Structure 1
Amino acid sequence: MVIWGLNTSPNCCLCDLELEYRDHLFILCEVSTAIWNMIFSRLGYSHLTLTSWTSLQQWLSRKDSTSPRTLKRLAAQVTIYSIWTERNKRLHEGVMATPESTFKLIDRHVRDVILGRRNRKNFMNLMLCWLRHE
């Protein structure tokens, strides 16, 4: 936003410790990292750490036996959207949520999407996978 000439702080709205750029905001920020750790735990990954946007893309494209790719992609989409929403709430409304409360919102969104598509082939068993490591 600073590059576009907007009069705003260049620091991350989540932690105010680093400059805000894509990898920091969505992957490396301590707030984002805490949220991702909860997501990974829910998906059954115990030792997964993202280091960049590229590592996120690689994880999403990799097929593995821990979690279905459709669920990983759904969780990642909702997580990125939620981190961006949290950033905007802090910037524009001065309202801050904890990573735990953000995760609860992510959990609700993921459940709603799965329930709304439960009759589609790719979504039939996703709720069991999402809740398996609750």
Structure 2
Amino acid sequence: MITQRFSNRAVLYIEWSELLSWLWSPRRKRVMLLRKLVTHALVFHIWKNRNNLIHNQISATTSTVFQGIDREVRNIITARKNYKAFQRLRAFAPGSSHNFQKKKKLK
């Protein structure tokens, strides 16, 4: 699901080397930065849910995990909106751009 947002095809990574190859493959810096953010959030949330299942016997749905990943990536981009590298990423995460702040003010 995540790789579909970066390209027209879904990719299944079986080994870490394949994931790392995908992570370092783009030529544009903002795509590489976004891939790093998404990969970091993905690994964190999968590990967090694994530990939650093992230690607390609480299971999260796939959609809940993906919502958490999406929210975390948007929050990272929004929190760093004054950094030049992250300003360009706001186009990839519409909810984290100035449009999000305008919507919030309208409520």
Classify the TM-score, shorter chain: 0.7 to 0.9
Q: Per-residue CA shift, 1:34-66, capped at 9, x if unaligned?
A: xxxx2112334423221210001111111146x
Task: Give 1:51's aligned residue.
Answer: 14
Task: Please list every run of at least 4 consecutive aligned residues from structure 1 whose deviation after the TM superposition is greater than 3 angstroms.
Answer: none
Task: Give 1:115's aligned residue.
Answer: 78
When the two structures are superposed, what TM-score results if normalisation uses the length of structure 1?
0.63
Q: Does 1:126 align with 2:89?
A: yes
Alpha carbons of structure 1 residues 119 and 44: separation in structure 2 relative to 1, 3 Å? farther
Task: Give 1:39's aligned residue.
Answer: 2
Higher helix proportion: 2
Total equivalences in the alignment? 93
Task: Give 1:91's aligned residue.
Answer: 54
Q: Does 1:73 align with 2:36?
A: yes
**Root-mean-square deviation over aligned CA pairs:** 1.7
Asked which structure has the greater RCO (Cα within 8 Å, sep 6+), the reply is 1
When the two structures are superposed, what TM-score results if normalisation uses the length of structure 2?
0.78
Instruction: Judge conservation of contact 1:43–1:130 (CA < 8 Å) in 2.
Output: no
